[in-house]
Amino acid sequence: MTDIVDELKWRGLFALSTDENALRKALADGPVTFYCGFDPTAASLHVGHLVQVLTMRRLQQAGLRPLALVGGATGQIGDPRPTAERTLNDPETVAHWVTRLRAQIEPFLSFEGENAAMMVNNLDWTAGLSAIEFLRDIGKHFRVNKMLTKDSVARRLESDQGISYTEFSYQLLQGMDFLELYRRYGCTLQQGGSDQWGNLTAGLDLIHRLEPDASAHALATPLMTKADGTKFGKTEGGAIWLDPEMTTPYAFYQFWLNVDDRDISGYMRILSFRSREELEAMEAQTAERPQARAAQRALAEELTTLVHGAGQTAAVIAASKALFGQGELGELDERTLSAALSEVPHIRVAEAGPVIDLFAEVGLVASKSAARRTVKEGGAYVNNAKVTAEDAVPAKDDLLHGRWLVLRRGKKNLAAVEVTG
């Protein structure tokens, strides 16, 4: 198990540790139980959470025992954001989201064997706790001057809005989680993102105050960033969710396929379960032929399979090929086709008019005259069939699943028309 520290470092997953040598010794003495927490502040996890979920999987494969905490209590408050107060969700909504997040995390972990994973909920030890008990038993051991140094708290104190006592108290709740898991399950390691470092160490401090003989540790992974300065896991349409109803498997696959060449090697090390030799070979291939985007395709396929299954991965790959004339559009199921076409420019019309009108209206060309030139030059396609007549009008039988037309100019410029009449 001690090798996992070196593995995490090589992969860029080791940002901070309370005491690396002590952690290595604990791993050598093993077995170690660790936990990572996820707050249900939305109906789904997003790809930013995927870093922690996959790190849990990696640690379990190295022999550690994982506790996956979905916070039914902390989810009702939310970790303070640097910018503004969170909107509080009602307990029923949070409870529903707890169930959804548990179902997303469970497939990544093994619940069998000597280091079988366990799902836990901090509402189990907070629901019956009175305010007086919380202040006496937990609050007594926190120092406000230290709590004020946490980055998100400090930023909020400097803002016009300030911070509520509710969100300020969040670190007490997370600290109590570590203490409870230590007492209940012998958990001695907390894993999380480096932006959670203040909360991770709050739990350590509480354990050391109340359990003087305990040896506990914290391990933080770095925050993933994008080379262009934008936030990892975000697109113009918002967050990339793990729930297929919130982000389709096709859009999920395309997100990874479109990763910047400057980012792909780092993302592969952090997120892929390929061996070091495979990753180094892929990095060399990317450096030599970046236009092939082999690493992006490999990561897109691996992560889509992990999150959505091999069947969905095969469907989105088939859709990607078919849209560009390398497969049969008519063989795609309606849901996959609709998801794919929602990612390209598209319009809705009551009925399908002349092809040149559709090309101009959807924006594939600047004007109808430009559309005519495209047809004359042999660069206009409808459902992958070349358009040869300037006055061509799609027939009802041309509509895919009775509603879609796929327009293409040349090899790479795609658009779609949804016929609603």
Looking at residue 38, its pLDDT comes to 96
Is 35 labelled a binding residue? yes
Which CB contacts under 8 angstroms, 24+ apart, belong to 375-379?
379/409, 379/410
Residue 38 phi/psi, 5-degree rounding, is -135, 125
Is 182 labelled a binding residue? no
pLDDT of the chain, 421 residues: tens digit per residue:
559 999 999 999 999 999 999 999 999 998 999 999 999 999 999 999 999 999 999 999 999 999 999 999 999 998 888 778 888 999 999 999 999 999 999 999 999 999 999 999 999 999 999 999 999 999 999 998 888 888 778 888 888 788 888 989 999 999 999 999 999 999 999 999 998 898 899 999 999 999 989 999 999 999 888 888 777 877 766 889 999 999 999 999 999 999 999 999 999 999 999 999 999 999 999 999 999 999 999 999 999 999 999 999 999 999 999 998 888 998 999 999 999 998 899 999 999 999 999 999 999 999 999 999 999 999 999 999 999 999 999 999 999 999 999 999 998 899 999 999 8
Looking at residue 2, its pLDDT comes to 55
Element at 368 (helix H, strand E): helix 368-376
Bridge partners of residue 69, in order along the sequence? 37, 120
Residue 406 phi/psi, 5-degree rounding, is -105, 115
Looking at residue 325, its pLDDT comes to 87
Looking at residue 152, its pLDDT comes to 79
Is 234 labelled a binding residue? yes
Residue 393 phi/psi, 5-degree rounding, is -130, 125
* CA-closest candidate to residue 77, choices 198, 166, 203, 148: 166
Q: How far apart are CA 201 and CA 304, in angstroms?
A: 34
Element at 221 (helix H, strand E): strand 217-221
* Two tokens, residue 110: 């093994």
User: Which residue in the block uniquely carries the two structure tokens 């469907």?
Assistant: 315
Looking at residue 135, its pLDDT comes to 93
Q: What angle do CA 186, 187, 188 make, to 5 degrees?
A: 110
Looking at residue 1, its pLDDT comes to 53
Predicted TM-score (pTM) of this structure: 0.90
CB 157 within 8 A of CB 149: no
Question: What letter would DSSP give residue 46?
Answer: B
Looking at residue 161, its pLDDT comes to 81
Q: How far apart are CA 258 and CA 226, in angstroms?
A: 12
* Two tokens, residue 186: 């012998």
Is 174 labelled a binding residue? yes
Question: What letter would DSSP give residue 89?
Answer: P
Domains in the chain, start-ordered, CATH in brackets? 3-221 (3.40.50.620), 225-328 (1.10.240.10), 344-421 (3.10.290.10)
* CA-closest candidate to residue 329, choices 410, 398, 249, 255: 398
